[in-house]
Structures are given as C-alpha cells and as structure tokens.
C-alpha cells in the first residue's frame, strides 16, 4: 500500500516539560553494541534497536512570541513522539528538548554548538537534531536582477521578530553543524519538519496548517543581506548555486517550493504529516536494515510534500557509520522478478546481471539475467527458472576493460572454477609483458610479487605516470582475487564508459579554481578540456570546481574523482533521493554550480601524492543527463594498501574535510523510456611542489 494512502492515526503522547536528561533503556541483554550489518531477531521480538547511545536535540515550536507569526499545533506533539522513539530505539538516550519559549534563537544555536565540546560524546557517536516549526525564505531584492531563484532559507525560533532579529539562517545552521562534525565525526542526522518556502499559513487545496511564514520582499534589507550573500554557494540549500553540507544526512519534509503540513488525526491529536509517517516507518522492524534513502523511499507522496534525503552518506545504514554495499542489488520476489536499480541508476533495457544467492561472490551462482523493462528505481528481469526466492545481482561488463599479465598460473587455474569471472571485465594471463602497450582501450598491468612479501601492480598502459602501486600482502586467497578483479573491472568500466571524441561545444562544462577560505584566488576558474590540467598536490593548495549548463534545457549531473593510485572512486557531487514527484534539476538552463567554494564554510579539495611520487594522474568524471540520475552506487573505497616502511605515505589522493553537498533534487515518476547519459573525462595531473 502506498504510505500516502494510509489512514492518519497519531500516537497518544503524554505531556512533558522541556528538559535535558538521559534515559537508560532497560534490556534483557547485557550487550547493547550494534553490529556492522544490522541483524534480524526472532519473529516474536518486536523490539527495534538502532544502537547503544544517541545524543539528541529536539526542537518543537507551536507558540510564537510575535503576534505576526501564526501559532502551530503539532510541533510539540511531534517532539514528544520522537522522544519516545529515541528511548525505545537506543540503549542510552541523552535528550535535550527545547519546546516553545525554551526554543529561542540563542538557545538553539548554543545547544548545537555544545555538541562539539561535550566530552561524553565520542567520535562517530550518533548526534540527532530534530526541528519542527515554521520555516521561510528571504528573497533577493528585485533590483539586483539575479535571474534564477536564489532565496536564503531560514528557521523561525520562538523569539523571531520582523525587525530582523532572532532568526536562524540555514547557512548559519550549516556552519554550526560543520563545526560539530569536525569535532565529533559525520554520524549526524538532521530532520526538518518545516516548509522551505510558501506563502500564507493555510493550504487551500488539501487543507491543514502549513509550517511556514511569508517573508516580506524587502526583508533582505531589514537583515542587512547584500547581493553577494545571495550569489554565494551558501545562500540557500535549494538552488543550483548553493550547496548543503556533506558532513551530515538531512531528512526534510518537502522540497523548497512545497509545504510541510500538519493535520489532526482520528484521536484528536495534531501531528506533522512527515514526522508521523517517518517515525511510524522507523518503528517497523524492517527499518533496522534500511539506509537513509530507503527510509525516505518508504514514505510515498504524503499529500504532495515529496520528502527528500540529502547527503553523501545517504547510503549508510540508519543511524550508523557503516555504508550499505551497493555492488549487489537485491532482486525482489513476486510475480515478476525486479532489481532494486533502474533508469536513474543507469540500468537500461538489455543490460545483463550475474545472479548469486547472497551479497558476495563466494555465494552460489545461478547464471545471468537480462533487463526487460527499466523503470525509475527498479527493473524487470528475465531470470533462470531455478533462481531462489531471494537473490542478488551484480552488473556484468560486456567487454574487457583491463588486463593483468604475469598472473600466477596456479591461481589462474583455480579461478577457472568461477565461470562468471570473464564477465567482471578483466582479462588475466600468466604470460609476461615486457614492453609498454599502446592499447588505450585496456588498462594493462603486470603483476609483481615475492613469496612472503607484498604484491604489486605495475602499470603498462602508455602514458600513465605511476610506475607501480602496492596491492596487499601475499598470499591472497582465490576468492579475494575474484573480489580484486571485480573492483578493478568496476573502476575502469565507469572511468572509460561513455568516452567519445570530445565535443568542442558540450552542453555542460566544468572549470577548476584555486581557492582559499571559500573564495577564488585566481582571476577566474579555468575551463577544463580533454587535455586536463596540472595542479599542485600538497596540503596547503586547495581547489574548487564550477559546473555550467550551457544549453537551453535543465540538466542533472554527478561528479566523481577516480584515484589511479588506489582505485577509489570518490563522490564529489550527487543528487539526493526523494520519495516521489517531479525533479528539480541540478542546473537550470545557463546556470552554474560551484563545488568546494563560494562561502567561508564551503571547504575545498586537496590532492596528495605518496612519498615515493613526484607526480601522478587521476581523473574527474562528470556524468550529466536531461533526466534525474543517481550514480552514488558507483563509488568505491580504496583497494590498495600503503606501506610506511618503504617510503609510502597514506594514499589519500583527493581529500575533503567539511564537504558540502548539492541542492535538493527530486525523484522522477517511473517511466520506461531510455535515459540519455553523457560524460566528460578530465585528466588531473598532480605535481609535487618544489621544496
């Protein structure tokens, strides 16, 4: 059943005064530690357990000091329900609740700032921030002629007034959370049940109070905001010229042009539609194995609100630091077999997948499946008749993309038992190759190893600037070799796919800029072409990027960095997940988006070399489309290890500290059309500065 069609029955909630306290959960088990992969419990066990402890700030405002701000009815109720859920779901819940008069602008900012200095919070402990109340956005003055919409979003505390005092700009909220993340890690979730924008306080079409205020057109002057404030990337979390932090995960009630609603349930209690539905889903036992994006996708439309999940860590398990492995896509069992991947993940009709009984290559193999129809988030498959009810799939690579020579003969023979190995995209041969090859269609390596020592891959592809890289200690098990080859095939498949002769007039272009403190220090960003760019690789030189849509049509895009030293794929920009609804493009026609600069909290990127290198080569890969896309599943952690005792430092490549993220984009309705995807591949030559 569509969650938006379910009846609305709020939970009855007892009254409680605003307070800070700790609730220790009573448990029959002695060990409250959470596992890396969520484990299921007995069918009779209805208890849902997310972790040993949580540090929470709950903000709920129904009553406002200013008579010019309409009161609400469900925000305090929402906070109390979230409070009850926290006590149900965590071993120890450290909760600070700010309700109504207690939720002043100063109290809210002080409470968030306090997380960073709280000695009881260890790094990567869960920090949980919830806000229910009014939101709004400040428009730029008309005489500034900024063109596309660049409103600055605000949260409305209890003591807000129309003279420009006591509001909370979203950019200030972002800065506060960035400081917390720097001190305590990125296991931070922020849940906002308020409007990003709207006019008035009633929704005439669907009924129910909405959580927003109408900000006057000249309010920017009242609060002393300049034109430059609206042009920076921190101005708003809703437009392409903005970015939201990547150091936390945001769950929001609606997109920027819609309204977060509250309404009265059958028991007479008023609740926020988003909060009620979200925490009803989180009380479901199945939610223990969900990621943040899966939680949002479970919600449905909810009266045209279109909740969204924003953040580079949206594929982490809920309230954990562990990321869900997206190599294997679960196949649904039913009248038709469906893959949990679709058009927005670049799964097309006729694509082929290898089928396994479990989420790893060591499980039983059942053959191949082909995509019959691809929808937005799922695909119909033709599968073998003996496939079990629950199965997993990994995308097959049609043609070899890499070759490894001098492969140990005994291991090569052992790998032959895996009939699916050639479909991973890597050729292996025991024969040595003594000369550099000029075949640019294959990434070629020679395997170099010594018994009892380390194994290396020596690059043979012409033009590659890295002579060799360490892999891992010898010996390596046969199944580990299969995983290594799968990783290498995946890396070079996505690095080189969609590669074609460079379009001299591409629809989307990318530029690089040397930056400091969020500002460009060169004259202007340098447009990147097929020859790439040379950059300095050290801790002190920072870079940002600007992506521009030169076409007359909106575009979506994802940006990744491919590190040739460790075969990692780092996501630098990727659209968020939205339950349903039409998409807001990453870039409107002739619009630009900055990544890594634009404000004093938007931190840039560093590039680094291992100690043994003087230069190296990596690649930026910009995927773009006229339809919504979500390619976060292609990212990979480092495959290779480093060895300090041989003069190698940690293989860092591109580095981020407090990254920021894209504006909220939205999931498009399912369709079976072909999705047109294009890409730009730009070499980044890294040079070690002279001492």
Number of C-beta neighbours around residue 148 at 10 A: 12
Nearest-angstrom CA–CA distance, 149 and 464: 44
CA 387 to chain centroid, in Å, comes to 32
User: Considering Cα of 663, then 193, then 277, then 264, what sign does the dihedral take?
Assistant: negative
Residue numbers of the domain that contains 388? 329-395
218 Cβ neighbours under 8 A, 6+ residues apart: 141
pLDDT at res. 438 = 44
Q: Mind giving me the DSSP string for 279-333?
A: HHHHTSGGGGG-BHHHHHHTS--TTTT--EEESTTTTBBTTSSPBPP-SSEEEEP
pLDDT at res. 187 = 94
pLDDT at res. 352 = 94
Strands 365-374 and 329-332: unpaired
pLDDT at res. 1 = 30
328 Cβ neighbours under 8 A, 6+ residues apart: 356, 359, 360, 392, 393, 394
Under 8 Å between Cβ of 665 and 556? yes
Q: Are 573 and 424 in a shared domain?
A: no
DSSP label of 475: P
9 has a pLDDT exceeding 70: no
Question: Does residue 301 sit within a domain?
Answer: yes
Stretch 231-253: mean pLDDT? 56
Whether the pTM exceeds 0.85: the reply is no
DSSP label of 646: G
Predicted confidence band of residue 330 (pLDDT cuts 50, 70, 90): confident
Enumerate the H helices of 130-188 as residue ranges: 170-184
List, in sequence order, every residue forming a beta bridge with 677; answer none if it has no partner: 625
Q: Are 285 and 414 in a shared domain?
A: no
End position of a domain, from candidates 275, 310, 345: 310
Q: Which long-range contacts does 77-81 make (Cβ < 8 Å, 24+ apart)?
A: 77/10, 77/13, 77/269, 77/270, 77/271, 78/132, 78/193, 78/271, 78/272, 78/275, 78/276, 79/130, 79/132, 80/13, 80/14, 80/15, 80/16, 81/10, 81/11, 81/13, 81/271, 81/275, 81/276, 81/279
Top-confidence range, 50-54, 57-61, 381-385, 645-649: 57-61
Nearest of 451, 665, 664, 649 to residue 566 by alpha carbon:
649
Q: Are 407 and 391 in a shared domain?
A: no
Strands, sheet with 261-264, edge to edge from the N-terminal-most edge strand: 209-210, 261-264, 270-272
Predicted confidence band of residue 667 (pLDDT cuts 50, 70, 90): very low
39 has a pLDDT exceeding 70: no
Tokens of residue 172, six digits: 């200030």
Under 8 Å between Cβ of 261 and 206? yes
Predicted confidence band of residue 518 (pLDDT cuts 50, 70, 90): confident
Q: Are 584 and 678 in a shared domain?
A: yes
pLDDT at res. 504 = 66
Q: Are 440 and 569 in a shared domain?
A: no
Question: Does residue 581 sit within a domain?
Answer: yes
Q: Are 68 and 146 in a shared domain?
A: yes
On the 0-12 / 13-18 / 19+ scale of CB atoms within 10 A, 92 is: middle
Nearest-angstrom CA–CA distance, 22 and 52: 13
Nearest of 37, 593, 578 to residue 325 by alpha carbon:
37
Enumerate the H helices of 66-127 as residue ranges: 75-89, 105-117
pLDDT at res. 23 = 62
Average pLDDT, the chain: 77
285-296 confidence digits (pLDDT tens):
788 889 998 898
Under 8 Å between Cβ of 359 and 405? no
Enumerate the H helices of 185-304 as residue ranges: 219-222, 227-231, 273-282, 292-297
Q: Are 181 and 204 in a shared domain?
A: yes
Question: Does residue 27 sit within a domain?
Answer: no
pLDDT at res. 6 = 28
Matching residue, tokens 């060591």: 362
Q: Are 270 and 361 in a shared domain?
A: no
Question: Does residue 187 sit within a domain?
Answer: yes
Question: Does residue 43 sit within a domain?
Answer: no
558-573 confidence digits (pLDDT tens):
999 998 878 899 988 8
Nearest-angstrom CA–CA distance, 105 and 68: 17
Q: Are 229 and 277 in a shared domain?
A: yes
Nearest-angstrom CA–CA distance, 596 and 445: 34
CATH number, domain of 218, equals 3.40.50.1460
669 has a pLDDT exceeding 70: no
Predicted confidence band of residue 539 (pLDDT cuts 50, 70, 90): confident
430-464 confidence digits (pLDDT tens):
887 654 544 556 788 888 775 556 777 777 765 55
Per DSSP, the three-state class of 96 is strand
At CA 207, angle to CA 202 and CA 209, rounded to 5? 45
> Does residue 357 or residue 674 have the better pLDDT?
357
Per residue in 162-180, is it b (16+ CB within 10 Å) or e — as a string? eeeebbbbbbbbbbbbbbb
The DSSP H or E segment spanning 483 is helix 478-496
Question: Does residue 294 sit within a domain?
Answer: yes
CATH number, domain of 414, equals 3.40.50
Nearest of 316, 312, 311 to residue 291 by alpha carbon:
316
On the 0-12 / 13-18 / 19+ scale of CB atoms within 10 A, 376 is: buried
Q: Are 357 and 457 in a shared domain?
A: no
End position of a domain, from candidates 310, 339, 368: 310
Nearest-angstrom CA–CA distance, 80 and 60: 9
CATH number, domain of 529, equals 2.60.40
DSSP label of 555: B
588-647 confidence digits (pLDDT tens):
888 888 888 875 556 678 887 767 677 778 899 999 998 888 898 999 988 865 444 333
Under 8 Å between Cβ of 618 and 686? yes
pLDDT at res. 100 = 96
CA atoms within 13 A on the CB side of 619: 23
The 3-state DSSP composition of the chain as helix, strand, coil percent (nearest 5) reads 20, 30, 55
Under 8 Å between Cβ of 660 and 605? no
Of 86-95, 133-142, 360-369, 374-383, which range is least confident? 133-142
End position of a domain, from candidates 496, 520, 548: 496
DSSP label of 437: B
Question: Does residue 30 sit within a domain?
Answer: no
31 has a pLDDT exceeding 80: no
101-154 confidence digits (pLDDT tens):
999 999 999 999 999 999 999 999 999 999 999 988 877 766 666 655 567 778
273-282 vs 75-89: helix crossing angle, rounded to 10? 10
Q: How many domains does the chain have?
A: 4
Q: Mind giving me the DSSP string for 650-689?
A: ----EE-SS-EEPPP--PPPP--SPPPEEEEEEEEEEEPP
Question: Does residue 21 sit within a domain?
Answer: no
Q: Are 243 and 291 in a shared domain?
A: yes
Under 8 Å between Cβ of 254 and 296? no
Predicted confidence band of residue 188 (pLDDT cuts 50, 70, 90): very high
Q: Are 369 and 288 in a shared domain?
A: no
């Amino acid at each position: 059943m569509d969650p938006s069609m379910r009846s609305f029955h709020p939970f009855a909630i007892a009254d409680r005064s605003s307070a800070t306290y700790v609730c220790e959960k009573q448990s029959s088990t002695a060990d409250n530690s959470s596992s890396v992969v969520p484990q299921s419990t007995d069918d009779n066990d209805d208890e849902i357990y997310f972790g040993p402890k949580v540090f929470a700030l709950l903000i709920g405002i129904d009553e406002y000091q200013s008579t010019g701000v309409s009161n609400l009815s469900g925000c305090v109720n929402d906070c109390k329900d979230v409070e009850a859920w926290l006590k149900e779901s965590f071993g120890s819940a450290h909760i600070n609740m700010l309700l109504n008069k207690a939720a002043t602008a100063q109290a809210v900012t002080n409470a968030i700032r306090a997380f960073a200095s709280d000695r009881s919070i260890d790094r990567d402990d869960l920090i949980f921030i919830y806000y229910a109340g009014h939101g709004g956005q400040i428009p730029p003055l008309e005489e500034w002629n900024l063109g596309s919409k660049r409103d600055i979003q605000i949260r409305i505390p209890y003591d807000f007034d129309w003279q420009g005092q006591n509001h909370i700009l979203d950019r200030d909220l972002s800065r506060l959370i960035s400081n917390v993340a720097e001190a305590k890690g990125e296991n931070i979730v922020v849940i906002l049940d308020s409007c990003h924008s709207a006019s008035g306080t009633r929704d005439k079409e669907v009924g129910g109070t909405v959580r927003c205020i109408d900000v006057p057109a000249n309010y920017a002057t009242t609060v002393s905001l300049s034109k430059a404030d609206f042009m920076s990337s921190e101005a708003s979390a809703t437009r392409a010229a903005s970015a939201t932090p990547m150091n936390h995960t945001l769950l929001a009630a609606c997109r920027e042009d819609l309204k977060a609603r509250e309404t009265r349930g059958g028991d007479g209690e008023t609740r926020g539609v988003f909060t009620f539905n979200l925490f009803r889903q989180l009380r479901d036992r199945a939610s223990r194995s969900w990621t943040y994006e899966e939680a949002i996708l479970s919600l449905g439309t909810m009266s045209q609100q279109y909740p969204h999940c924003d953040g580079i860590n949206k594929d982490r398990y809920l309230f954990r630091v562990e990321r869900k492995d997206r190599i294997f896509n679960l196949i649904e069992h039913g009248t038709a077999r469906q893959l949990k991947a679709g058009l927005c993940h670049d799964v097309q009709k006729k694509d082929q997948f290898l089928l396994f009984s479990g989420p790893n290559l060591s499980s039983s193999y059942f053959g191949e499946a082909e995509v019959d129809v691809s929808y937005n988030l799922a695909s119909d498959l033709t599968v073998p008749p003996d496939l079990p009810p629950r199965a997993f799939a990994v995308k097959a690579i049609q043609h070899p993309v890499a070759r490894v020579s001098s492969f140990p003969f005994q291991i090569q023979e052992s790998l032959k038992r895996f009939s699916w190995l050639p479909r991973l995209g890597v050729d292996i041969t025991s024969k040595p190759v003594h000369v550099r090859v000029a075949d640019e269609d294959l990434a070629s390596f020679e395997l170099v190893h010594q018994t009892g020592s380390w194994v290396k891959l020596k690059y043979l592809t012409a033009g590659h600037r890295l002579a060799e890289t360490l892999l891992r200690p010898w010996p390596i098990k046969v199944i580990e070799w299969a995983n290594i080859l799968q990783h290498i095939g995946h890396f070079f498949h996505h690095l080189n796919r969609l590669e074609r002769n460079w379009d001299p007039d591409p629809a989307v272009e990318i530029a690089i800029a040397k930056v400091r403190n969020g500002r460009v220090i060169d004259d202007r960003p340098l447009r990147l072409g097929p020859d790439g760019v040379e950059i300095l690789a050290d801790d002190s030189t920072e870079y940002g990027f600007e992506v521009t849509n030169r076409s007359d049509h909106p575009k979506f895009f994802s940006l990744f960095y491919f590190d040739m030293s460790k075969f990692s794929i780092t996501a630098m920009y990727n659209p968020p997940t939205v339950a349903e609804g039409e998409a807001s493009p990453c870039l409107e026609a002739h619009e630009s988006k900055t990544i890594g600069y634009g404000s004093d909290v938007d931190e840039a990127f560093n590039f680094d070399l291992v100690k043994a290198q003087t230069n190296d080569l990596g690649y930026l890969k910009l995927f773009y489309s006229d339809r919504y896309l979500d390619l976060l599943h292609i990212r990979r952690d480092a495959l290779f290890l480093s060895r300090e005792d041989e003069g190698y430092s940690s293989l860092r490549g591109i580095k981020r500290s407090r990254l920021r993220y894209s504006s909220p984009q939205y999931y498009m309705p399912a369709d079976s059309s072909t999705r047109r995807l294009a890409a730009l591949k730009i070499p980044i030559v890294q040079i070690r500065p002279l001492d």
